Structure 1
Amino acid sequence: MSKINPFKPNNPVSSEMFAGRHKEIRALEKGLYQTKNGFPSNILITGERGIGKSSLMNLFKHLAIGNISTENGFLNFIAVNVVVSDRTSLVTLIRLIERSISRELGKVETVRSFLAETWSFVQRIKLMDSGLDKADATDEADIVIDEFAYSLAQTCTRISNPQKGEAAKDGIVFIIDEADNACPNLHIGYFFKAVTEMLQQHGCEKVMFVVAGLPDVVEKLAKSHASSIRIFTHLSVKELSFSDTKYVLERGLLKGNEVNVEQTTMGDFAKDHVATLSEGYPHFIQQFAYSAYERNTDGEISVEDVFEGAFNEGGALDSIGSRYYAADYHSKIKSDEYRQVLSIMAENMSDWIKKSEIREKFTGDDQTLTDALKALTTRKIILKNASKMGEYRLQQRGFALWIKLFGSRPKK
C-alpha cells in the first residue's frame, strides 16, 4: 500500500511543522503589536537559499491575520503577499498590491465602492509604465508613489476605524518575498523609504512592511536609496540547531502516522545523520527526510535508508543540487578550469582552504587560478575569508558533496 510522505521539500512548511526561530518570531510579534498600537515597525529578513525565509513568512502571515495566537492574543491585520520577480516594475508592484487588497476587502459590500474610488489611480498608471522604465523617470515615480501612499493611508484608516458596522482591522501588513530579485525599475529602496515617510505625513501609523530576500537585497535597497536600510530592523536567519532539526523530523513522522495506516519510525542515529547532512537548512531537512521516507520499506527508517535516499542518483542530494548548485556549477561558469578549482575545494568540504593549497593541485597557470578565485567570489559561488588573506571555502558542505558525486555528470 502506498504511503503519503509527510515531508515537503518543495513547499514552505506549515505552521504546525515549524521549529526554532524564537528570536525572529518574537521580533515579528513585537512588530505587529507595535504597529497595531500606532508605532509602525518594518523588518528586513535575509538568509541564504533554503534557510527557511518563506516558511517564516508563512508563519508570520498566520500570526498577523489571527490564525495563531501571539503572546498578546489574537491579531486581526489584513495581510498582503507579494513575490518579487526580476520583471516586477514599480507599476506592477502597486497593481499587485491593489489587487490583493481588493480581494481581501472587496468581499465586504460597504467597503467595495470605497476601494474602487480610492484606488482608481491604478487604472491610469498603466499608461505611465513605459515611462517609468527610463533611468530619469524620478518625477513619474514620485507621482505614482505619492498616489499609492495616499490611497494606502485612506484604506488603512477606513478599515481601522469602520464607519458602517464592519469589524475593525488592526492595520495592514505587507509581506514582500524574494526582494533580492528586484530590478532597477522597481526602485525598491526608494519605494519603501518614500512610502513610509508619506504614510506618516498622512497620519497613517498602522502599516507594517516585512521584506525577505537573499543577503544581497541589502545592497539593492541601499543602491536604490542609501538610507532605506534605516527604516528596517534587520534579522539575519541562520541554520536550525541540531535539536530543532530533530524536532522537525519528529513532527513530520507524527503527521505521517496520522494519515497512514502503516506506521513509520526513525531511529536516533538516522535522525542524527539527517540533521548532519542537512546542516540545519530547513529545505534540506525536508528533502533528506523525504528521500529517506521514500526509501524505507519496513516501517523503521534506518541509517541505510538515509544514506541511500541521500546519495543515490535522483535522491536527496541530487535533487537539492538541481535546484541550488547546478546553475552555479554549470550556467554561471563557462570554464572547465574554474570548475576544477571548485572540485579541488570540495575535497576540503566547506572548510577554509588556502590559495597555495589549491595551486598545488590546479593544472592551469597562476593567472588563471587568480582569475577563477576572483570570478567565483564575485559570483558568490565561494566565500573569501575576510580575516585571513588568501583563504576560500564553499558555502555549504552539501555543495561539496554534490560536486564530488554529480559534478562530473554532463549537464542535462
Structure 2
Amino acid sequence: MRINPFKPGSPVPVGMFAGRLNELDKLEHGFAQTRAGQPINFLVTGDRGIGKSSLLWFESAVARGKVESGDFGYFKFCVASTQISEKTDLVTFLKILQKEIAREVGKTEVVRKFLAETWDFLQRVKIMDSSIDRARKDSEEEIVISDFCHSLAETVARITQPGQGEDRREGLVIVIDEADNASAELRLGYLLKTITEALLRASCNHVCFIVAGLPDTFDKLRQSHESSVRIFDPLPIRELEIKDRRRVVELGMAEANKLNVAGKITIAEDAKEQIALLSEGYPHFIQQFAFSAFNAAKGSEITLDDVNSSAYSRGGAIETIGLKYYQSDFYDKIKSDEYRQVLKIMAARGNDWIKKSEIRAEFKGTEGRLSNAIQALTSRRIIQKDSAKDGVYRLQQRGFALWIQYFGDPKSAR
C-alpha cells in the first residue's frame, strides 16, 4: 500500500508550501521591522480552507530561523502560538501564552528560574467566577492584564539582551489563530490594544502580533474596542493562482516519491489541471482532491479519471469537503426548508451570479419569504451579494454548489 503525502486535515508541511509570495513578503517585512524595534502587527483573514493555518505554520518557521527569508536572511525570534475557542477566557488565554513562551526560551535552569519569578503572579490567578458582578470582574481583569504586560516586557528584555551563555532572540512573535471564535467576554480587541499600548509605554518594541481568523474577525475585534483594528495591518488571504495550485500538487508528488521508493508515481497534466480547477484555489481543497485521487489510482500514474471518479463518488473529495465545510451552512445555520430551496435553485447555476427575479421564477413561496431567505443567507455569509448590482447573488464557492447538487439532499443524492 502506498503512503499518501497529501494532508487535507492539517497545515501543509513547510517543504510543501507554495505561493503566497505577497503575503510572505509583508509578514517578513513585519519581522524585519520588529527586529529593528519598529514592530508591525497583522490581522490575517480569509475563508475556511483558504490556507491561513498553513501560512502561519510556514511563517512561524521563518520567524524562528528554521527557514531563510528571501529578503531578510535568517530571523531568530521566539514564537508563541495559541488558538482561541468559544470557551477561552482571559486567564486561560494569558496562561497559555506564558507557557508557550516558557517552552521556547526556558532551556537553561537560570532562565527557567527567571521565568518562574517573573510570571509568578499568573500561577496564582484563578479562573474568575462568572457569578461575580461585572464591575468587580473588570477591575480584577485590569490588574491581571497590567501584571501580564509588565512580565511580558521583562521577558522580552531578557531574551533580547540575555545573560552570559544564554541564547539571544530578536524578539517575540505572538500568533493567535481562530480569533473569530473569541467570545464577547474575552474582549480580544480591547485586550490586544491594551497590551500593545502597555508595551509601547514600557519601551518594549520587539513584539509582533499576528491574529488570524475568518473575515468576521475584524468585526469581533472592533466590537470589543472600536479602535483595536487600527493596531493591525490587514492581510486578507485569497485563492491561490492556477500556477500555485499546480505547484502544490507537484510538491506533493515529489514527496510521494520520497516516501514510496519502490516505484515512481506520476500525475497526468490534465489530472493536475482538474485538481487545480476543482479546488478553486483553496489549499485545503487541493489537498483533499489530490489525496482522494492518489488513493484512487491503481497504476503508477494518477489520471484524469482517477481525479473525477474520486471527486464525485460517495465518500469522495466533494462529499468529504462538504461534510467539513458546507454541511453546517446547509443544515445547522439555516433551519428553514425555504432557505435551502433558495440554495438549491442557486446551486443549479454553480456559483455564477443569479438575479433575484430568476430565483423567484422557481421559488415555491411568497415574495416576503423569498426576501427573508435571501436576507438571512446574505447576513450569514452563506451567499454573496453583488455590490455593484441590486438584486444579484451567488454562492460563495462552486464547490458548495457541487456538494448541494450531489449530496445536499440525501433523497436525490446520485
Q: TM-score range by the shorter chain?
A: over 0.9
- CA distance in structure 2 between the aligned counterparts of 1:391 and 1:133, rounded to whole angstroms: 48
The yes-or-no answer on 1:150 pairing with 2:150 is yes
Match of 1:372 in 2: 373
Structure 1 CA distance for aligned equivalents of residues 354 and 263 of structure 2: 47
Structure 1 counterpart of 2:361: 360
Contact 2:45 2:235 in 1 (8 A): yes
Q: 1:133 touches 1:185 (CA, 8 Å); kept in 2?
A: no
SS at match of 1:325: helix
Q: Answer yes or no: is the 8 Å Cα contact 2:61–2:67 preserved in 1.
A: yes
CA contact (8 A) 2:81 2:100 kept: yes
The separation in 1 between residues aligned to 2:127 and 2:384, in whole angstroms, is 44
In structure 2, the gaps of 5 or more residues are none
The 5-angstrom pairing of residues 7-406 of structure 1 reads 7-70=6-69, 71-126=71-126, 128=128, 130=130, 134=134, 137-260=137-260, 261-406=262-407
Aligned mates of 1:300, 1:151 — CA distance in 2: 57
Distance in 1 of aligned mates of 2:136 and 2:411 = 45
Q: Aligned AA for 1:6?
A: P
Counterpart of 1:102, as a letter, is A
The question of whether the paired residues in 2 share the 8 Å contact of 1:8 and 1:290 is answered with: yes
Q: 1:127 deviation in Å?
A: 5.0
Maintained 8 Å contact 1:132/1:185: no
Deviation at 1:267, TM superposition (A): 1.1
The more displaced of 179-188 and 393-402 is 179-188
**Counterpart-to-counterpart distance in 1, 2:59 and 2:207:** 15
How far off its partner does 1:126 sit? 1.3
Structure 1 residue 125: Cα displacement: 2.2
Contact map agreement 2:385 2:393 (CA 8 A) in 1: yes
1:294-344 per-residue CA deviation (whole Å, 9 max, x = no partner) reads 110011111110100100000000000000000111111111111111000
C-alpha change, 1:410 and 1:181, in structure 2 (3 Å) is farther
- 2:372 is paired with a residue of what secondary structure? helix
CA distance in 2, matches of 1:331, 1:238: 26
TM-score, L = length of structure 2 = 0.96
Please tell me the root mean square deviation across aligned C-alpha atoms, in Å.
1.5
CA offset at residue 134 of structure 1?
A: 3.8
Instruction: Note the C-alpha offset of 1:129.
Output: 5.3
Kept in 1: contact 2:128–2:137 (CA 8 A): no
Deviation, 1:141, is 2.5
CA distance in 2, matches of 1:136, 1:389: 49
- Give the direction of change, closer, same or farther, for the CA distance of 1:135–1:246 in structure 2 (3 Å limit): farther
Contact 1:246 1:271 in 2 (8 A): yes
CA distance in structure 2 between the aligned counterparts of 1:394 and 1:127, rounded to whole angstroms: 42
> What is the aligned-residue identity percentage?
50
Q: Distance in 2 between matches of 1:167 and 1:242?
A: 42
| Alpha-carbon distance in 2 for matches of 1:238, 1:366 | 35
Aligned length: 410
Distance in 1 between residues matched to 2:136 and 2:56, nearest whole Å: 34
Alpha-carbon distance in 2 for matches of 1:358, 1:153: 58
Does the 8 Å contact 1:153/1:202 carry over to 2? yes
- Say if 1:110 and 1:164, in contact at 8 Å, map to a contact too: no
Residues 132 and 67 (structure 1), Cα distance of their counterparts in 2 relative to 1, 3 Å cut: farther
The separation in 2 between residues aligned to 1:136 and 1:306, in whole angstroms, is 59
User: Could you list the per-position Cα deviations for residues 98-133 of structure 1 after superposition, in whole angstroms to 9, with x for gaps in the alignment?
Assistant: 111222222221111111111111123215454789
